[in-house]
Amino acid sequence: MNDDTVFALASGAGRAAIAIVRISGPDSAAVLTAMCGTLPFPRRAVVRALRDAEGELLDRAMVLWLPGPKSYTGEDSAELHVHAGRAVIDAVADRLAGLGLRPAEPGEFTRRAFLNGKLDLVSAEAVHDLVAAETDAQRRQALRQLEGALGDLYRDWSDRLRGALARQEALIDFPDEDLPPEVEADLLASVHSLRGEIGAHLDDRHRGEKIREGLCFAITGAPNVGKSSLINALAQRDVAIVSATPGTTRDAIETRIVLGGVPITLVDTAGLRDTTDPIEAEGVRRARSRAASADLVLTVIEAGSPFDAGGLVVANKSDLYPEQRPDVLPVSALTGAGLPELLARLAAEAIALTQSGGPPPLTRARHRTALSAAARWLADAEDAIEPELRGEAMRLALRAIGTITGQVGVEDILDSIFRQFCIGK
């Protein structure tokens, strides 16, 4: 289905020593031969002169000839490791276009790999996550998914459901044969346990999705207790405006930090007090809504003041108050006292909210939607009295799970998945 050959810059933009131009498709061999004279030995790095149509030298590059099907895309492919100057890259791209190649779409290499059966959709999505990974927890989760842990889980569910469906169909097709009486009970037990496992997987407090997307920690407290100063101290840069006038932090101010390998957005919930200033009131409204959906609320008080907050309470300005209550975490944004303890506590919370030693967690909304649908169909199957209706519900559940790994009818969702990729991947 891919009779055109594509190319793309697979390395990043910006100053670098080497740029990698990737080529995939049936004309790869002809293009390499045209540019470097002869086809290099497969899968071995060689240095070749790359030439334009007139034979003029474009660059001297390391070249890889990667014949299919043992390539990333499964097609004949090649890589040109050229000097990363803009003019070199442009000249090589012009030459490839002149030879009839077209620039690849975002994610097209991985899409071709999927269409050629080199990886399933869950692994393809993991490639995207690995390329985008900014923290260690994201990298580990993406790699685990790329290595197949999550795909295997979903395929195991598909296989078991397919087995149960086969037995259900036997009951429908041969109602008068003497099928052993336990067939129906067995298949219902399979459906029941599958529904339980899928339910448990769905009910994971969004751990995997939070590793991918990050957590939100809201910082609340009365004006002037030092919330902005504390965020600045935690983020070690001046992100919030610190002022001695109450109510100056007008908007919800966000800053990203990484703790325990998890990206965390700290939201400063502008002095939560009733106000007549419309701009400040909007800040307060947003802050309240962020705080309401936050994964953790950190209440900042001024050390020495009474409070009635629950959860994690941080008493700031500990430098002014030597006496501390035992139920608060004393810190001083000014001197830095107590900050290491606070950071350690926040990291522990981030890890508790995201990580678990069990099976791989669900990682994206697309999978969640499909699995929720599957769980509903399985519940329908359990409730169905008519064998035909039960069979149909099981078929629909199987189909929903199959869309996750790409085993069934996914043509319509491929665009939305691969569009998020970068070009060259």
- Residues of this chain that bind ligand GDP (CB under 6 A): 221, 223-229, 242-244, 249, 271, 316-317, 319-320, 332-334
Q: Are 281 and 275 in contact (CB under 8 A)?
A: yes
CA distance 101 to 96: 6
Nearer to ligand GDP by Cβ, of 333 and 401: the residue is 333
Query: What count of other Cβ atoms lies within 10 Å of the Cβ of residue 145?
Result: 24
Copy the structure tokens of residue 178. Answer: 């003497």
Copy the structure tokens of residue 373. Answer: 């649908």
Nearer to ligand GDP by Cβ, of 224 and 363: the residue is 224
CA distance 261 to 210: 11
CA distance 421 to 425: 7
- CA nearest neighbour of 387 among 161, 190, 169: 169
Nearer to ligand GDP by Cβ, of 205 and 285: the residue is 285
At its nearest, how many Å lie between ligand GDP and the CB of residue 370? 43
At its nearest, how many Å lie between ligand GDP and the CB of residue 240? 6
Count of positions (residues) in the chain: 425
The amino acid at residue 152 is: D
Cβ-based neighbours of 16, under 8 Å, separated by 6 or more: 84
Q: Is the peptide bond before 175 cis (omega within 30 degrees of 0)?
A: no
At its nearest, how many Å lie between ligand GDP and the CB of residue 130? 38
Nearer to ligand GDP by Cβ, of 190 and 229: the residue is 229
Q: Are 77 and 68 in contact (CB under 8 A)?
A: yes
At its nearest, how many Å lie between ligand GDP and the CB of residue 326? 19
Q: Is 294 left (phi over 0), alpha (psi -120 to 50) or beta?
A: beta
CA distance 290 to 270: 11
Nearer to ligand GDP by Cβ, of 186 and 302: the residue is 302
At its nearest, how many Å lie between ligand GDP and the CB of residue 333? 4
Nearer to ligand GDP by Cβ, of 209 and 280: the residue is 280
Nearer to ligand GDP by Cβ, of 189 and 320: the residue is 320
At its nearest, how many Å lie between ligand GDP and the CB of residue 306? 17
Look-up: residue for tokens 């691969």? Answer: 418
**Element housing 43 (H / E):** none
At its nearest, how many Å lie between ligand GDP and the CB of residue 148? 47
Running DSSP on this structure, what letter comes out for residue 422? P
Surface-to-core class of residue 301, CB atoms within 10 Å of its CB (0-12 exposed, 13-18 middle, 19+ buried): buried
Helix axes 136-146, 121-132, angle to 10 degrees: 160
At its nearest, how many Å lie between ligand GDP and the CB of residue 264? 18
At its nearest, how many Å lie between ligand GDP and the CB of residue 259? 20
Please give the full DSSP string across 317-358, using - where no structure is assigned. Answer: -TTT-----TTSEE--TTT-TTHHHHHHHHHHHHHHHH--SS
CA distance 371 to 34: 50
Query: What count of other Cβ atoms lies within 10 Å of the Cβ of residue 237?
Result: 11
Nearer to ligand GDP by Cβ, of 103 and 247: the residue is 247
Nearer to ligand GDP by Cβ, of 319 and 380: the residue is 319
Running DSSP on this structure, what letter comes out for residue 299? E
Nearer to ligand GDP by Cβ, of 314 and 397: the residue is 314
At its nearest, how many Å lie between ligand GDP and the CB of residue 423? 42
At its nearest, how many Å lie between ligand GDP and the CB of residue 232? 8
Nearer to ligand GDP by Cβ, of 251 and 382: the residue is 251
